[in-house]
Structure 1
Amino acid sequence: MKRFIKKTLLGLFGGALIIGSLGACSQRGPGGWHSGADGSPEFRARMVEKVGSRLDLDAAQKQKLAVLADKLHAQRMALRGTSDPRDSVKGLFAGSKLDQAGAKKLIEEKTAAIQSGSPEVISAAADFFDNLRPEQQQKVRDFMERGRRWGYRG
């Protein structure tokens, strides 16, 4: 009988631990872990400061980076559209057959958004990059080579 109680208590404790861990992992604030990536002005300001400190940007360069961040945010919002992108895609599969006309319309809308906003983004990116010192430009190239990680080695 003693052995049965030990196994039962151990099983209940283990189950509670697993359920508690899963519950803790599933908890997230409103908007999820990436809510700042939705483009709040505070998030963009923090990113400009972070990149600015890593590249040793002066005030004029930080201003150009802020303009680039604003243009990228505007482009992202234009691509996203007025509704949730997932809902748009889910709507294509809602019926018994794929809504081909809706899919074509969705792709045309996204393509138009890219074509209309890209010149401003390219201009802002060029203005920022062209006004960096050569060593700052090399840091940007190194960052792009490594991917999304921004850690320094050494």
Structure 2
Amino acid sequence: MKPWKTVLGVIGAVVALGAFSGCSSYRGGHGGWNATPEQQAKHREHVVERVASRLDLNEAQKAKLSDFLARMQAERAAAMASQQSPRAQMLALVSGDKFDRAGAQAWMSKTAAALETRSPAVIASLADFYDSLDATQQAKVREYLQQRRGWRRG
């Protein structure tokens, strides 16, 4: 599979996660960049309950959604742990007289390879959740995604 297809798949999964999460209205703990595992679990539970109430999910569907969200958090943590900060990497690329093209290409190749390695499990988990929805629930998801035209909008 080509790396750009994998990247598009991961982006689609992240968009779906963002569309479901409704993070802007949740104030009971935080599941963000520096959250503890307990905060992440609390946030994940909140997201599952919020989506469950909007889509009328049964327990099996809630479990699949929770699995997807846990995989997304784990993959994000693995991605962040496996690389130095993007800012430090960019500073290294521009530290000399010329932009380090080979270094930039190596960085992008490493990132694409990591995405290609880790994304199938995340995509499969999202697909398992979506495929478990009935036609009405899937229609609600599509409608919500069509109405939502950017971050932090209704």
TM-score band, normalised by shorter chain? 0.5 to 0.7
2:68 alignment counterpart: 68
Partner of 2:41: 41
Distance in 2 (alpha carbons) for counterparts of 1:47 and 1:94: 42
Corresponding residue for 2:130?
A: 129
Secondary structure of the structure 1 residue equivalent to 2:69: helix
Structure 2 Cα separation of the partners of residues 47 and 53 of structure 1: 10
Greater relative CO (CA pairs within 8 A, separation 6+): 2
Counterparts in 2 of 1:41 and 1:120: CA distance versus 1, 3 Å: same
TM-score by length of 1: 0.66
C-alpha distance 57-120 of structure 1, shift in aligned 2 (>3 A): same
From the superposition, tell whether residues 41 and 94 of structure 1 become closer, same or farther in structure 2 (CA, over 3 Å): farther
Deviation for aligned residue 1:149: 5.9
1:3-152 equivalent positions in 2, closer than 5 A: 36-38=31-33, 40-80=40-80, 81-147=82-148, 148=151, 151=154
TM-superposed deviation, 1:45:
2.1
Q: Is the 8 A contact 1:78 1:113 kept in 2?
A: no
Q: How many residues align?
A: 117
Rounded Cα–Cα distance in structure 1 between residues aligned with 2:69 and 2:97: 42
Retained in 2: the 8 A contact 1:71–1:121? yes
Q: Which of 1 and 2 has greater Rg?
A: 1
Q: Which deviates the most, 84-93 or 127-136?
A: 84-93
Unaligned regions of 5+ residues in structure 1, if any? 1-34
Identity %: 38
TM-score w.r.t. structure 2 length?
A: 0.66
Once the two structures are superposed, residues 87-127 of structure 1 have per-residue CA deviations (whole angstroms, 9 ceiling, x without a partner) of 22222112222122221111011101111112111211111
**Distance in 1 of aligned mates of 2:47 and 2:128:** 18
Helix, strand or coil at the partner of 2:32: helix
1:83 and 1:49, CA in 2 relative to 1: closer, same or farther beyond 3 A? farther
